[in-house]
């Protein structure tokens, strides 16, 4: 079973793709807390090893997002499967760019640097399809231009992430002075065309504006780590249709909490939805955006086969939560032999590591 890892935005004003250890399943995408969401990982779209080539977009090419990843070697050392930008805006939609630095196509041992485009689900109307044509690229400092590939994808209510597109073998990038300068890479995405398939069948005018520039900094050491265990003694008595949250806990001078929809939210299918969220008071005082990885687990109280999912690198935006809409199937969760709900007790654990920061350039 594959589960969608989604970054979610929500505002609670009342106060990177891993595995399930029980099944060995790949939890490769992340889910929505309340009203907004975006998913991350899906099937790859990769050129064969011997055929990788990137198109030169020319010196007049201006992307909608320019994403500078500093300390690229540190990103690799984290072992994170992906890193995702902060939001950028284009033509009434919210977008994100994701880098998968060590992607391997099925049957290939060659790791590629791959990119994918994502959007937020709150703009997606059920029954509508948003067809987008876009360009994914990496900056060639020697040529003074972006190089990459042109792609298209149909986004809709429950599918907010494009396929992966591999640009260059990782080893080629690492030994190239054209793409890697002072241990930094620059990636780009340009939205070319948006068509909405709906009863109205309208085309969206892509409004070009100044390039959004973002910087991602990954620390080599001095990570801030924290963990929290949420003992839920009345799990079966919870309001199964509404959002339930843990007490707050502090990591890196910020307050966080774990949230869940016990019966799943509107983006899930017969699964519990589980998230890590930033406290409302801390949303207002973020000076620079933190970059972090997190793991959420539901503990097996009988057999020790815990349900565990780990994210890639995320940028901590105001009003955000991060988690999985389809964390685990409700039927198996409540199976008495599983040990995840014992009597009415359910134990959820959160592990959080802050490994860098992000700012606008």
Nearest to 289 by CA among 354, 221, 211: 354
Question: Do 228 and 214 fall into the same domain?
Answer: no
Question: Do 146 and 187 fall into the same domain?
Answer: yes
Q: What is the mean pLDDT of residues 247-256?
A: 90
Angle at 221 between CA 217 and CA 224, to 5 degrees: 85
Residue 62 confidence (pLDDT) = 92
Max CA pair span of the chain: 65
Q: Which residue has the tokens 């134990």?
A: 347
Please give the structure tokens belonging to residue 142: 């020697």
Question: Do 253 and 333 fall into the same domain?
Answer: yes
Buried b (16+ CB within 10 A) or exposed e, 17-47: bbebebeebbbbbbbbbbebbbbbbbebbbe
Nearest to 80 by CA among 176, 280, 219, 230: 219
Nearest to 130 by CA among 83, 200, 64: 200
Q: Which of 220 and 52 is assigned the larger pLDDT?
A: 220
Residue 133 confidence (pLDDT) = 96
Q: Which of 255 and 33 is assigned the larger pLDDT?
A: 255
Q: What is the mean pLDDT of residues 301-325?
A: 87
Among 192, 218, 244, identify where a domain stops.
218
Q: Which of 150 and 24 is assigned the larger pLDDT?
A: 150
Question: Do 292 and 319 fall into the same domain?
Answer: yes
Q: What is the mean pLDDT of residues 130-145?
A: 95
Rounded to the nearest 5°, which phi and psi values hold at 190? -130, 125
State how beta strands 289-298 and 307-310 pair. antiparallel
Among 218, 237, 269, identify where a domain stops.
218
Beta bridge partners of 348: 230, 298
pLDDT surpassing 60 at residue 42: no
273-308 pLDDT, tens digit each: 999 998 876 554 555 688 999 999 999 999 899 999
Q: How many residues does the chain have?
A: 361
pLDDT surpassing 60 at residue 352: yes
Q: Which of 325 and 50 is assigned the larger pLDDT?
A: 325
Range of the domain at 334: 224-360
The burial class, CB within 10 Å (0-12 / 13-18 / 19+), for 108 is middle
pLDDT surpassing 70 at residue 47: no
Question: Do 213 and 71 fall into the same domain?
Answer: yes
Question: Do 196 and 252 fall into the same domain?
Answer: no
Question: Do 200 and 59 fall into the same domain?
Answer: yes
Question: Do 273 and 157 fall into the same domain?
Answer: no
Task: Count Cβ atoms below 10 Å from residue 284 Cβ, excluding itself.
Answer: 9
Whether 297 contacts 306, CB under 8 Å: yes
Question: Do 231 and 209 fall into the same domain?
Answer: no
Domain count, the chain: 2
Q: What is the rounded distance in angstroms from the CA atom of residue 227 to the CA atom of residue 246? A: 13
64-91 pLDDT, tens digit each: 999 999 999 999 999 999 999 998 999 8
Whether 166 contacts 182, CB under 8 Å: no
Q: Is the dihedral of CA 129, 134, 174, 290 positive or negative?
A: negative
pLDDT surpassing 90 at residue 111: yes
Among 197, 218, 239, identify where a domain stops.
218
Q: Which 3 state secondary structure label does DSSP give 331?
A: helix
Question: Do 234 and 336 fall into the same domain?
Answer: yes
Question: Do 210 and 63 fall into the same domain?
Answer: yes
Whether 132 contacts 102, CB under 8 Å: no
Q: What is the rounded distance in angstroms from the CA atom of residue 21 to the CA atom of residue 231? A: 20
């Amino acid at each position: 079973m594959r589960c969608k890892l989604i970054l979610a935005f929500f505002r609670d004003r009342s106060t990177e793709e891993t595995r399930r250890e029980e099944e060995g399943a790949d939890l490769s995408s992340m889910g929505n807390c309340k009203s907004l969401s975006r998913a991350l990982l899906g099937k790859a779209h990769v050129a064969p090893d011997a055929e990788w080539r990137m198109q030169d977009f020319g010196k007049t090419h201006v992307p909608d997002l320019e994403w500078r990843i500093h300390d690229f070697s540190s990103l690799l050392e984290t072992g994170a499967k992906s890193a995702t930008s902060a939001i950028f805006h284009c033509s009434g939609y919210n977008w994100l760019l994701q880098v998968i630095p060590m992607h391997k196509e099925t049957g290939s041992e060659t790791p590629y640097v791959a990119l994918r485009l994502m959007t937020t689900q709150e703009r997606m109307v059920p029954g509508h399809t948003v067809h987008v044509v876009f360009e994914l690229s990496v900056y060639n400092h020697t040529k003074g231009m972006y190089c990459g590939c042109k792609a298209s994808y149909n986004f809709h209510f429950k599918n907010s992430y494009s396929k992966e597109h591999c640009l260059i073998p990782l080893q080629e990038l690492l030994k190239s002075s054209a793409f890697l300068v002072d241990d930094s890479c620059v990636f780009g995405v340009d939205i070319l065309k948006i068509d909405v398939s709906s009863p109205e069948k309208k085309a969206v005018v892509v409004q070009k504006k100044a390039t959004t520039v973002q910087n991602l900094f990954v620390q080599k050491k001095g990570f801030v780590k924290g963990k929290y265990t949420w003992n839920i003694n009345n799990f079966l008595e919870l309001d199964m249709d509404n959002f339930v949250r843990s007490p707050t806990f502090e990591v890196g001078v910020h307050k966080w909490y774990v949230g869940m929809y016990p019966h799943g939210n509107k983006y899930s299918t017969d699964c519990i939805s589980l998230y890590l969220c930033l406290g409302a008071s801390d949303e207002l005082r973020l000076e620079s955006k933190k970059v972090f990885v997190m793991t959420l687990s539901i503990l097996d109280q009988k057999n020790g086969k815990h349900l565990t999912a780990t994210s890639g690198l995320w940028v901590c935006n105001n009003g955000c939560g991060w988690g999985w809409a389809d964390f685990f199937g409700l039927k198996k969760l409540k199976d008495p032999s599983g040990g995840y709900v014992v009597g009415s007790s359910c134990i959820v654990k959160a592990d959080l590591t802050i490994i860098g920061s992000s700012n606008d350039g």
